[in-house]
Chains A and B, each alone.
Chain A
Amino acid sequence: MRWLLVKDLQILRRSPLLVSILVLYPAAIALMIGFALSSPPGKPRVAIYTGVKPGHGKVHLGTQQVDVSQYARELFSSIQPLQAASAGEATADVRQGRAVAALIIPADITQQLQALLQGGNGNPTVQLVLNTSNPLERNLADQAIQARVDAVEQTVSKQVLKVVVHDLQQVLNGGVVNLLGQNVPLLGLRNVRTIVTGTVQSLPRDSKLLPALHQVVAFADIAIEGLAFAGPEIGTIGAPLSVQRIDLAGRTTPTASYAVSIAAVVSLMFVTLLLAAGLLALERSENAYSRLIRGLVSPATLLGEKILLSGAAATALALALAAIVSIFVPLEWARFELWVLALAASGLAFAALGVAIGGLAREVSTASLMAFLLSLPVAFLALVPSTAVSGGVGTALGVVSFVFPFRAGLQAVSNAFSGAAPGMAWPLLHLLVLALVFGVLARLALRRFASR
């Protein structure tokens, strides 16, 4: 096996194009993943026209004022604003490609908002102009702006409710309100009840005022009780549903390290499959196979050498990929031995699959094509969440994922990178069994070829 390894390394050394592709491919994937995960999302360039004059963005809510322009500034911080002098200019910016969208805020939006809050009949509306020449870009801009408008809308809504609740509390407990620049004390229902109750107790038992005052106290009790509940209930309207997240299986894989795991396993898969299938097919396309198996090398040794070489080379490349990506994404270097273990086990299983493919093909080009055509759908199917498809299809996808090493490899590697549950034992065992099964299939494929 030693001399076969030396020979294959010599051949690889003299195939600079192939080796360059095999090295650069994972490196390119690593850099792309790293930059994508470490860079903040880009701000869409949006033309803005606002008809609201400076200082006119305040809305009166009960006893308080809300400055809507404060929320507009929040919106501007999440986009790249391009100020326009008029609605027409903002639209022209979009038409001529200077902006992906235009946001037009009418001059009467404050009044409309005021009317809505006070009388329920206002119609505060902003216009969003989108460029439809590129549907994809239109969709992205629409989603980006809509998400930010929704966030601002929710913030305004919460602020309004906060003011309403504050005013209700004053009606209940009393306080000081500002009316036309004058601070006016507000008695509050609780104080009213106290005063009336005191008055009732000071009156003679046969006083004709008592029935009427009892009615006032009873009304005050009902009102106090109702308003005491009203505050929190109204407050919940701003955030009607709160979600409590419960993680049942210990630590979950962080999104970034899961993305790195996918990149590492995809690279590992391609490099291992192409190398293993190609190196075995090379023995046949160079006509050396018949010479080798004449007692020089056993078929099992030949397969073992290809599995070892391609698995080791791909593991080294995947480790290099992880090292590059760790510049951008925090990976747990303390678990390095587990990285090696997970990647090596995955490499072993993929290499065994690769030699099974190489055993079926007579030429390197056919073997490479078969490896490529098989690996892509296997990877995609393994990445489809089982909850995203119906029961029967999900079962079929599960079976396909089970009989190929991608999903088990991904589980092992993502666990090794992040320490996430579930543990590595089952995926590693799964990978070793798959390596054994594909190794046996490769041996049968060679026997079939030799008997021709």
Chain B
Amino acid sequence: MQERYSSPGAVEGLPALRVRGLTRRFGDRIAVQEVSFELAAGERLAIIGPNGAGKTTLLSMLAGVLAPSSGEIGEGTGQIGWVPQQPAVYSKLSVAENLRLFARLERLSDPEAAVDRMLEQTGLGDRRDEQVSRLSGGNQQRLNIAVGLLSRPAVLLLDEPSSALDPRQRERLWEFILELSHQGTSVIYSTHNVLEADRYADRLLVLGDGEVLFLGRPGELADTVSGREAPDFESAFVSFLRSRGH
């Protein structure tokens, strides 16, 4: 059994994010339907579900990239940081130049200080002048997250952050995200890797055809299916989906 990481302050105090009845339609198709939840400071929420369930659409609406058809997003104490699935940085620029550009576009009062802070926080200080195209996938993803964190957001959104990383890079990425969470940043991430959801999330939001099928702690999801049918969390998740017709 793998160790589970929980946030000491999860679900306590003022919510960092409040989502009510969020819906998105593409023509006649409903991609996300009536999603509602609250997120506490420092809490980690994993969004999981089969392909086409609406995970990226939901995250895109939370990020402000996509306008919802209806519903509302209430930010609690601060901004929302956005980390797309693929590194959204300029490969011809250096690490520091990327951070400096986005710090200026974010209109931060001291862009250079923000660059230094993020280089230190992400451990990319020794790569500051290296062109992004020469970085490993793991370091590119670190930079991607660093850009999302430049404005010190209260909530960080990550779309499948570990999908392109090898196991070692993945481990280091999650150490970094856990550290952020422990410092009070709320994290919402989507993933296809249900073990990552089980291991690193405080709560799960399971989507199926755009609808919320489950919202709760990972252990509660396992409890919804009988123990003999689900020897591990992945099996429990598959059984859960099957029981809901997915």
Question: A residues bordering B, Cβ < 8 Å?
Answer: 3-4, 6-7, 10-11, 14-15, 286-288, 290-297, 450-451
CA distance A178 to B26 in the complex (A): 105
Instruction: Count contacts between A and B, CB distance < 8 Å.
Output: 56
Establish whether residues B92 and A15, one from each chain, have CB atoms under 8 Å apart when the complex forms: yes
Can you offer 5 A-B residue contacts whose CB atoms are under 8 A? A11-B90, A291-B147, A292-B105, A293-B65, A450-B66
B82 at the interface (CB under 8 A from A): yes
CA distance A295 to B64 in the complex (A): 8
Q: Given A287-B86, A290-B65, do A10 and B105 touch, yes or no (CB 8 Å)?
A: no
Establish whether residues A296 and B105, one from each chain, have CB atoms under 8 Å apart when the complex forms: yes
**Nearest CB on A from B73, distance (A):** 13
Residues of B within 8 A of A450 (CB): 65-66
B95-116 Cβ-contact flags toward A at 8 Å (1 or 0): 0010001101110000000000
Establish whether residues A11 and B92, one from each chain, have CB atoms under 8 Å apart when the complex forms: yes
Q: How large is the interface on B (under 10, 10 to 19, 20 to 34, 35 or more residues)?
A: 20 to 34
Residues of A within 8 A of B65 (CB): 290, 293-294, 450
CA distance A350 to B217 in the complex (A): 56
Question: Which 10 pairs across A and B sit closest by C-beta, in order of nearness?
Answer: A287-B88, A296-B105, A291-B88, A14-B92, A11-B92, A3-B104, A287-B86, A290-B65, A294-B64, A288-B88
Establish whether residues A14 and B105, one from each chain, have CB atoms under 8 Å apart when the complex forms: no
Q: Given A3-B105, A14-B131, A295-B64, do A290 and B93 touch, yes or no (CB 8 Å)?
A: no
CA distance A82 to B185 in the complex (A): 90
Establish whether residues B64 and A7, one from each chain, have CB atoms under 8 Å apart when the complex forms: no
Establish whether residues A288 and B89, one from each chain, have CB atoms under 8 Å apart when the complex forms: yes
**Nearest CB on A from B188, distance (A):** 15
Residues of B within 8 A of A297 (CB): 105
B193 at the interface (CB under 8 A from A): no
Interface SS of B by simple majority: loop
B84 at the interface (CB under 8 A from A): yes
Establish whether residues A11 and B105, one from each chain, have CB atoms under 8 Å apart when the complex forms: no
Scoring B60, B87, B101, B131 by chain A CB atoms within 10 A of each residue's CB, the highest score goes to B101
Establish whether residues A287 and B84, one from each chain, have CB atoms under 8 Å apart when the complex forms: yes
Establish whether residues A290 and B88, one from each chain, have CB atoms under 8 Å apart when the complex forms: yes
Residues of A within 8 A of B91 (CB): 286
Establish whether residues A10 and B106, one from each chain, have CB atoms under 8 Å apart when the complex forms: no
Q: Given A296-B106, A297-B105, do A286 and B63 touch, yes or no (CB 8 Å)?
A: no
Using CB atoms, name the residue of chain A closest to B105. A296
CA distance A327 to B157 in the complex (A): 60
Establish whether residues B105 and A286, one from each chain, have CB atoms under 8 Å apart when the complex forms: no
**Nearest CB on A from B190, distance (A):** 15
Residues of A within 8 A of B86 (CB): 287
Residues of B within 8 A of A4 (CB): 105
Using CB atoms, name the residue of chain B closest to A452. B26
Establish whether residues B88 and A296, one from each chain, have CB atoms under 8 Å apart when the complex forms: no
CA distance A383 to B147 in the complex (A): 49
CA distance A271 to B86 in the complex (A): 30
Task: For chain B, residues 127 to 178, give those with C-beta under 8 angstroms from any C-beta of chain A.
Answer: 131, 147
Q: Given A14-B131, A296-B102, do A286 and B89 touch, yes or no (CB 8 Å)?
A: yes
**Told that A10-B92, A297-B105 touch, could you supply 15 new A-B pairs with CB distance under 8 A?**
A3-B101, A3-B104, A7-B90, A7-B101, A10-B97, A14-B131, A286-B89, A286-B90, A290-B63, A290-B88, A291-B84, A291-B147, A294-B64, A294-B65, A451-B26
Establish whether residues B93 and A10, one from each chain, have CB atoms under 8 Å apart when the complex forms: yes
Residues of A within 8 A of B87 (CB): 287
Using CB atoms, name the residue of chain B closest to A286. B90
Residues of B within 8 A of A14 (CB): 92-93, 131
